[in-house]
Amino acid sequence: MKRRQMLTLIALTGAAGCGTTAATTSSAGTPPSTVPPTTPPVASPSSAATARLGSATTATSSAAAAGTAGASASASASPSASATTEAARPSGRGGPVQAPAGKVMLGSYLALGGKNLKQSLSLRRGQLDREQRIVHRFYPWNGYVPTSEPQVAKSSTLMVSWHGAPYAGILNGSSDANIRSVARKLKNMKRPVLLRWGWEMNGDWFEWGGPQNGQNPANYVKVWKRLHRIFGEQGADNVAWVWSPNWNSSPNTAANKVQKYYPGDAYVDWVGISGYNFFNETPSTLFNPITKLYGARKPIILSETAAVKNKATWIKQLHTWVEKTPAVGAVVWFDTDIQEGTDHNFRFDTDTSSLAAYRSMARSPRFTG
């Protein structure tokens, strides 16, 4: 979820997160909870039962400060020649996390009230008779990042949503040490990792969004390529890069078109989409546009999605849409009832019909990836 969701919920405008246009994230394991969008929590040093969606505003880091001071002509110049001439690894169907042929990996961001991650995973295992194929965690830009995720089963893939930061404080090189540190930590997890950095960049609710950075998508692309290069230098070849815009752009202007933020096929392994039915949007409304743009080139992951109304009906619609959309390789439910900044309950087990619809989807052959 994102700050935009919070904005949507609070201001009831199209600029909210999750599926509309507003959201944010904070500490490890929890998504942002500031007024802009709503995003899941980031993993904190202790695996507290209240892993809550952090807030993008809490992710504001030294990069922000360095951004103003260090964005001088030389500092803000694009990365060194070696950075710009980097030969990005060949793109496959998912890179280090391969998209299963004809199948979909089903997972979730789990933050259930009164339960820690282990207990939440156990509950869902019992309800669905299966493991989560993807477990989604949120890490802060320059705060605590764990060196392992022992509660995430070996049979599951870890997806990390890593908070972004203002572009200037990254492009001037002052964040390189932090980037190297996170790259080494993810590398040393010794497991495939889906890395979703700076998500929903086409929204105006996060500090790393284009509208918050001089409406300059080209600099977002430069930042992405800088991170990609540094991860490569650290040997983090277990990381699959997930470029994950919001389903629609806010503001909806030519300068903020989602295509302007795309780093290029050589720097992206999966294309993600955030989308929720806050205003009764159907799955096709939320996911068709970006899938049509990139689905022939990259596997699609619904990296943040959930229903907040008409759940059983919407889950059935989602199931049908995925069945008819071969480009989709993964679906990650935003499974929480404790998202800060909103009264929405995103869990799929709020009533028996919704649970039954989700269970049917989870047990269908298409979702056995």
Q: pLDDT, tens digit, for every residue of 174-206?
A: 999 999 999 999 999 999 999 999 999 999 999
Report pTM.
Answer: 0.82
SS3 label, residue 109: strand
SS3 label, residue 7: helix
**Residue range 255-264: mean pLDDT, rounded:** 98
Taking alpha carbons only, the member of 257, 259, 226 closest to residue 241 is: 226
pLDDT digit string (tens) for 286-295? 999 999 999 9
Taking alpha carbons only, the member of 173, 184, 195, 210 closest to residue 301 is: 195
Cis peptide before 40 (omega within 30 of 0): no
324 vs 92 pLDDT, higher one: 324
| Amino acid identity for residue 340 in this structure | E
The mean pLDDT of the chain is: 83
Per 3-state DSSP, the chain is made up of helix, strand and coil in percentages (nearest 5) of: 35, 15, 50
pLDDT tops 90 at residue 231:
yes
Residue 92 pLDDT = 56
If one counts every other C-beta atom within 10 angstroms of the C-beta of residue 123, the result is 14
- Confidence at 31, pLDDT banded by 50, 70, 90: confident
d(CA 66, CA 48): 32
User: Domain 3-56+92-367 sits in which CATH superfamily?
Assistant: Glycosidases (3.20.20.80)
